[in-house]
Amino acid sequence: MPNFSSPAWPIASRIFASLVGGYLFTWGLIAITIAALIPLGIEFHDVEMGMLMLGLLIYLSLFLWGMATDKLIWLWLILFGGGVTMTVLASVLQQSFLQGI
Amino acid sequence: MFSSFRQSMAWLHTWFGLTLGFILMVVFFFGSLSVFDREIDRWSIPESRFEPQVMPSFDEMLLPILRSVEPEVQDYNTNMPLLHDLSQGPMTPRTELPADEFWAYTTHRDPVLIMGVGFLVPQPLDPEGHNHIHGNITIDPRTGKAFPDDQLKIGSRFFYPMHYSLNWNWNRIGIYIVGIAAFIMMAALVSGVIIHRKRFREFFTFRPNKQTQRSVLDLHNLTGMVALPFHFFFTFTGLLIFASFYFFPVTHTQLEPLHDYHEMVEASETGLPHKRAGVPTEIASVDAMVAKAKQRWAEKDMAGEVGFLKITHVDDANSFVSIYRAGSDRVALVGEGMHFNASTGELIREEPPRSAVSEINEFLTGLHLQHFEHWLLRWLYVFGGLVGAICIATGFIFFVEKRKRQHTLQGSSGSQVVDALAVTTVTGMLVATVSMLVANRLLPAEMVGKGYWEQVVFWGSWSVMLLHAFWRSSAVRHMHISPAWREQSILFAVLAIAAVILNWITTGDHLLKTVFHYWPVAGVDLSLLVSSAIAIYAAVYLKKRENVAVNKAIEFSAQKLEASRG
Amino acid sequence: MVEVVCWIAAIFTTMMGMASLSLSLPNHWRQVTGIETSQPTPSQQNALRIFGYLSLFVSLVLCLAADHPTMAVLVWVMLLALAAKGVAMILTWREHWLKPLLLMFSRTGLN
């Protein structure tokens, strides 16, 4: 049983949430934007490249926010919750679009 | 947990910077060397010391050579069992694989021409996949003679991959490690600006005569701030280059179906066949197509040479030839692609102007990959890269200086370890690099596996420097400067001069000759000599500082003794 | 050859610009005057800044004259870094090199 009251625990949780959660959130955001914009007829590679550029900056901001925020619970909820939701939604959107053509 | 935003940023800057800074040192240093990778290639392969050439006649010279290329044994042994479907019969023998793709690539800095063949796996497990076994060759475009296989292009095939993958290819782990380090670099830059923002008021300050901790911090801030745009943009664009394949491969994994759908739409729009037709045909004159492409570029007011040439679906009715312009006069890479039907020579498609997003992306990746011809900007990049290396190295030294007293009193060896690792990644890395160059000149050219042994020397000497740094690091515990810094500087200085002399002895190319006739080699030699002079100066200066430190250390141990008594 | 002349001129003007920007900071002004208590007056500070930014702008124009705009911007940004580092080194070891520039801007002269 890990010792949750040791000072190392919150810092480990914070680093994990910021790095991994931030990554997941960014992934979800990139995926959902691509999946949502392609059906609107926007050029595939434009969306992809644009989102990669933005995504890197967004990931950086999320990571810095995660390292600084007081509200660890919110950090976990937003990054993991948001990330998973967007990723799943992106797959759903993709499927409905590809089935519709 | 942190009492203020600034404090959290300081924590991030210190600890992430410390753990990944050693990787970043390697990335910045070898990145700086990669600016002149082709020149280092010339230095290390004397047979290739001649002027850059334009792409020679494809029909007369390149095609017969490409026909003679065989799949690489290692690639075949590793990948053939993975790609081939055993249920359809035994594996096609290596030398009987049919060619599916031909390519040739050259730049304004390359005297040699790099070419390759992608061989088809006839009975693949996944018919949709990229089923290629490769065979590459480097030739002298003046004669068509091939360079030996096992000759290592130290600049473009060792130092350059070191920059982005640490030459650690197992599961591409090196690329991922560098990626994480680069991401942390961006975070370190932002947090660095936040914690040191007050320093903008004394932007130009460097006080070498203050105590080490203070002057090192001056240098850390100065180098971090003056080249901030360079640091940020190069880290960012470096990540961007690999983003779609390695860091955020969204469209190659989760959204692959969407990607494939788009490919299909695109193939029908461009008229470039996605698959082989299965009907064999002959290749028409590629030289005629090259002439057409050049004429078209000239009409668009961007006359240029061919940088990259590729034939897809070789010997098939669906085969097409793609000709790209060498982008030596602008930031974006090769482009203005023209695609021709390989059997009729007809123009199938001319790539339309790029979209705005694509323009930005090409500019950002192009500014990092620097295929352009601009010697001033190249040297400015070297300057930027080395300034970045100074920034990281001074970060380590500041860490050590700030904590070594406390660590010693607590009996911790933390700062000793950091100092030893700093020595290894600063002077140790220099020694390893120049040892490799010395080995390149000492090992006989006809030696089998010469390139392998050069790499052994590189890693071997680096390991020795690591051991040496740890062995000498106990000085830090006694508040001295580790003598490893000075000793490795001297070793580097000697080896660098030896490399220049050995180049002269083994090839007859001395500086007086190369300065007037062959700048790539003269540049490498001169850089070695200048670095050597700097290293000697540093060693002398360190000796002086070591003596000062010894006096201070005596005071410190007196204090410590008193403290332990009281 | 024209572009080499432009580059050299650009290097010089960026150095000039960075030097005068450095003098607009009280710390560095003191360093060059060598007088602990001296400070640039607000109007001197303004003049130094305007001259500094103007020089940097001129150097951008020079870079644009030498190269394709996309390339020129890169050269200029890198020159800014080089010049800032160069001025910092001058302030460390050869601060008297900036005296002429200082004299240009201090109406009362140095005493």
Collect all residues of chain B within an 8 Å Cβ-Cβ radius of residue C78.
Answer: 230, 377, 380-381, 383-384
Partners of chain C (3+ Cβ pairs below 8 A): B
How far is the C-alpha of B88 from the C-alpha of B107, rounded, in Å? 42
How far is the C-alpha of B342 from the C-alpha of B63, rounded, in Å? 13
Write the ipTM.
0.94
**Amino acid at site B9:** M
pLDDT for the residue numbered C36: 85
Nearest CA in chain B to A60: B187
Collect all residues of chain C within an 8 Å Cβ-Cβ radius of residue B223.
Answer: 85
B27 has pLDDT over 60: yes
B424 has pLDDT over 90: yes
Segment B331-361, tens digit of pLDDT: 876 678 899 999 999 999 998 888 889 889 9
β partners of residue B133: B119
Q: Are B133 and B121 in contact (CB under 8 A)?
A: yes
C108 has pLDDT over 60: no
Q: Is residue B261 part of a domain?
A: no
Partners of chain B (3+ Cβ pairs below 8 A): A, C
Provide the residue ranges of all domains of chain C, joining segments of one domain with +: 2-105
B555 has pLDDT over 70: yes
C109 has pLDDT over 80: no
Segment A30-71, tens digit of pLDDT: 999 999 999 998 999 999 999 999 999 999 999 999 999 988
A5 has pLDDT over 60: no
Q: Is residue B1 part of a domain?
A: no
- On whether both B450 and B327 belong to a single domain, the answer is no
Number of domains chain B contains:
2
B431 has pLDDT over 80: yes
- Give the closest of B201, B208, B225 to C25, CB-based: B201
Segment B363-417, tens digit of pLDDT: 999 999 998 889 999 999 999 999 999 999 999 999 999 999 899 889 889 999 9
Q: Are A66 and A18 in contact (CB under 8 A)?
A: yes
Provide the residue ranges of all domains of chain A, joining segments of one domain with +: 23-100
State the residue range of the domain holding B314.
71-83+95-120+302-353
pLDDT for the residue numbered C110: 42
**Cβ A38–B258 below 8 Å, yes or no?**
yes
Q: Is residue B477 part of a domain?
A: yes
At residue A4 the predicted structure's pLDDT band, cuts being 50, 70 and 90, is: low
Which of B334, B353, B372 delimits the end of a domain?
B353
B4 has pLDDT over 60: yes
Segment B240-286, tens digit of pLDDT: 999 988 999 999 999 999 998 888 888 788 888 888 898 999 999 99
Work out whether strand B306-312 and strand B320-325 pair parallel, antiparallel, or are unpaired.
antiparallel
How far is the C-alpha of C34 from the C-alpha of C29, rounded, in Å? 8
Which of B316, B331, B353 delimits the end of a domain?
B353
Partners of chain A (3+ Cβ pairs below 8 A): B
**Cβ A64–B258 below 8 Å, yes or no?**
no
**Cβ A87–B254 below 8 Å, yes or no?**
yes
Q: Is residue B550 part of a domain?
A: yes
Number of H helices and number of E strands within chain A?
5, 0
Residue A50 sits at the chain B interface (C-beta within 8 Å): yes
Instruction: Identify the residue with better confidence: C8 or B411.
Output: C8
> B130: how many CB neighbours lie within 10 A of its CB?
9
Instruction: Identify the residue with better confidence: C104 or C75.
Output: C75
What count of Cα atoms within 13 Å lies in the side-chain half-sphere of residue B124?
14
Average pLDDT over chain B reads: 92
A75 has pLDDT over 90: yes
> B197: how many CB neighbours lie within 10 A of its CB?
11
| Sign of the four-CA dihedral B304, B308, B314, B316 | negative
C111 has pLDDT over 70: no
SS (H, E, C) B385-405: HHHHHHHHHHHHHHHHHHHHH
Q: Is residue B509 part of a domain?
A: yes
Q: Are B151 and B139 in contact (CB under 8 A)?
A: no
Segment B465-521, tens digit of pLDDT: 999 999 999 999 888 899 999 999 999 999 999 999 999 999 999 999 999 989 999
- Give the closest of C25, C68, C84 to B202, CB-based: C25
Q: Number of Cβ pairs closer than 8 Å across B and C? A: 79
Query: How far is residue B409 from each of residues B404, B422, B552, B561, B563, measured CA to CA in Å?
Result: 9, 22, 15, 11, 10
